[in-house]
């Protein structure tokens, strides 16, 4: 083991490592903020795929309403399809 690993292990045992590590993290955040490169939160990042986008939309009231409308339309179409199979054409829509 190199001297730096031994020194880090010694600091960790003494409880000095955590304070030093959090100080470094704080300094990095401040530097990014000054440079205008603050890290984005998960909600601010671009959607990865369709399902991820839908789950983010559902976090808003309008998105939740749209989600419920999609589910309702899906259930209605499924119900009509089943009735059509069981009873045939015109009776299914009554």
* Same domain membership, residue 51 and residue 32: no
DSSP state of 49: S
Per residue in 4-52, pLDDT tens? 777 777 777 766 656 666 777 777 777 776 666 555 555 566 656 777 7
Query: How many structural domains compose the chain?
Result: 2
Q: How far apart are CA 48 and CA 37, in angstroms?
A: 21
Judge if 52 and 85 occupy the same domain: yes
* Number of Cβ within a 10 Å radius of residue 75: 10
Task: Report whether pLDDT(71) > 90.
Answer: yes
pTM of the shown model:
0.34
Burial 28-46 (b: 16+ CB within 10 A, else e): eeeeeeeeeeeeeeeeeee
- Please tell me whether residues 32 and 53 are part of one structural domain: no
What's the mean pLDDT in 59-78?
A: 88
Q: Do 27 and 65 lie in a common domain?
A: no
pLDDT at 2 exceeding the cut of 80: no
Q: Which domain range does residue 73 map to?
A: 47-94
Asked whether residue 93 carries a pLDDT value surpassing 60, the answer given is no
* Residue 23, both tokens: 């100080």
Same domain, 57 and 81: yes
């Amino acid at each position: 083991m190199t001297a730096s690993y031994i020194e880090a292990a010694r600091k960790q045992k003494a409880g000095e490592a955590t304070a030093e590590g959090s100080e470094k993290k704080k300094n990095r955040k401040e530097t990014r903020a000054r440079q205008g490169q603050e890290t984005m939160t998960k909600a601010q990042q671009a959607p990865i795929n369709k399902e991820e986008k839908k789950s983010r939309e559902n976090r808003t009231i309008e998105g939740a309403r749209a989600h419920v409308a999609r589910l309702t339309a899906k259930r209605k179409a499924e119900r009509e399809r089943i009735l059509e199979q069981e009873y045939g054409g015109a009776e299914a829509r009554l």
